[in-house]
């Protein structure tokens, strides 16, 4: 699988919308301080494809957001695919 494009908002460390265009580079190094969202990028890809990242529940939703949304496009065996997943807040008011 070759990642092409990733859009996410309200997902783990990313409250605001973020887009990553993987076609604009050949090699990348993801670096940053603890909690900056490095692993969240990989979790977003996994969550869009399989519906789970670190956990299956709404814990992937950023605490400042009401929903998480991820769109991930990739190439596989010459075909282009896109997976999109939205998770809505289901936290109890009690």
Minimal CA–CA distance to 39: which of 74, 13, 68, 3? 13
Q: What is the dihedral angle through the alpha carbons of 61, 64, 67, 73, rounded to the nearest 10 degrees?
A: -70
> 66-82, pLDDT tens digit by residue?
999 999 999 999 999 99
Is-contact 91 58, C-beta < 8 A? yes
> Rounded CA gap, 65 and 83, in Å?
21
Check residues 88 and 56 and name the one with the higher pLDDT.
88
Q: How confident is the model at residue 94 (pLDDT cuts 50, 70, 90)?
A: very low
The per-residue pLDDT for range 50-66, each reduced to its tens digit, is: 988 876 677 899 989 99
Q: 75: which strand partners?
A: 2, 80
3-state secondary structure 19-35: EEEHHHCCCCCCCCCCC
Q: For the chain, what percent of residues have pLDDT higher than 90?
A: 74
Place of tokens 């695919």: 81
């Amino acid at each position: 699988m070759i990642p092409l494009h990733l859009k996410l908002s309200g997902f783990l460390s990313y409250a605001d919308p973020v887009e990553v265009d993987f076609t604009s580079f050949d090699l990348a190094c993801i670096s940053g301080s603890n909690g900056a969202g490095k692993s969240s990028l990989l979790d977003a890809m996994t969550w869009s494809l399989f519906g789970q990242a670190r956990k299956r529940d709404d814990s992937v939703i950023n605490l400042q957001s009401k929903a998480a949304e991820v769109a991930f496009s990739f190439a596989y065996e010459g075909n282009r695919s896109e997976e999109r997943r939205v998770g809505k807040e289901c936290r109890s008011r009690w």
